DNA sequence: GCCAACGTTGGC
DNA sequence: GCCAACGTTGGC
């Protein structure tokens, strides 16, 4: 089982939108590294859901419910999407500044590669963020 | 709203 | 193949 973090601009698609849908197609990724990560996802992997831009916090947890397939938003078959199923919302969002202040999270891609939208987490990073959101 | 960082494009 | 120009993202 792997652990991931995906970013969404809440103005485009927020956790609230996700709660209404329960399951969503994670499409629109147009970055090679992010695509590689999408292709590496296995069904059942856990995914932290991060709000970028105005919010800048991890707000909830999802899981991969369908492995990668052709991105339906483009005819270009080199891009892929996955399906994510909502699991639960964190009791308290874990903000970017909290993440930055934790030494064991200092190597997290969220900080190191601020523009990457789909990234792999270690189990330690994943569990630490969950613990901070209780 | 600004700007730094980054990825992509296109001219050479 | 290099690199300047450009567009986009995301933090502040």
Q: In chain A, pLDDT over 70 holds for what percent of residues?
A: 100
Positions of chain C reached by protein Cβ under 7 A: 8-12
CA distances to A28, A42, A86, A102, A124 from A63, rounded to whole Å, are 18, 9, 7, 25, 17
pTM (2 d.p.): 0.94
How far is residue A46's CA from residue A64's CA, in Å, rounded to a whole number? 7
Confirm whether any atom of chain B, the nucleic acid strand, is less than 7 Å from CB of A78.
no
Confirm whether any atom of chain B, the nucleic acid strand, is less than 7 Å from CB of A31.
yes
User: What is the predicted pLDDT for the residue at A78?
Assistant: 87
* Mean per-residue pLDDT, A88-93: 97
Q: Which candidate, A87, A8, A83, A82, places its Cα nearest to that of A38?
A: A82
Distance A18 CA to C5 C1' (A): 38
* Residue bearing tokens 């934790």: A102
User: What is the predicted pLDDT for the residue at A75?
Assistant: 84
User: What is the predicted pLDDT for the residue at A57?
Assistant: 97
**pLDDT tens digits along A48-79:** 999 999 999 999 999 999 999 999 998 888 89
**pLDDT tens digits along A4-13:** 999 999 999 9
């Amino acid at each position: 089982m792997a652990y991931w973090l995906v970013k969404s601009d809440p103005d485009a698609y927020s956790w609230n939108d996700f709660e209404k849908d329960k399951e969503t197609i994670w499409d629109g990724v147009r970055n090679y590294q992010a695509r590689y990560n999408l292709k590496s996802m296995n069904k059942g992997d856990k995914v932290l859901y991060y709000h970028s831009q105005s919010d800048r916090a991890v707000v909830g947890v999802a899981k991969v419910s369908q492995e990668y397939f052709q991105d339906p938003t483009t005819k270009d078959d080199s891009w892929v999407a996955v399906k994510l199923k909502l699991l639960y919302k964190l009791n308290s969002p874990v903000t970017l500044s909290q993440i930055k202040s934790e030494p064991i999270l200092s190597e997290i891609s969220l900080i190191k590669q601020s523009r990457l939208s789909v990234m792999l987490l270690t189990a330690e990073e994943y569990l630490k963020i969950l613990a901070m959101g209780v």
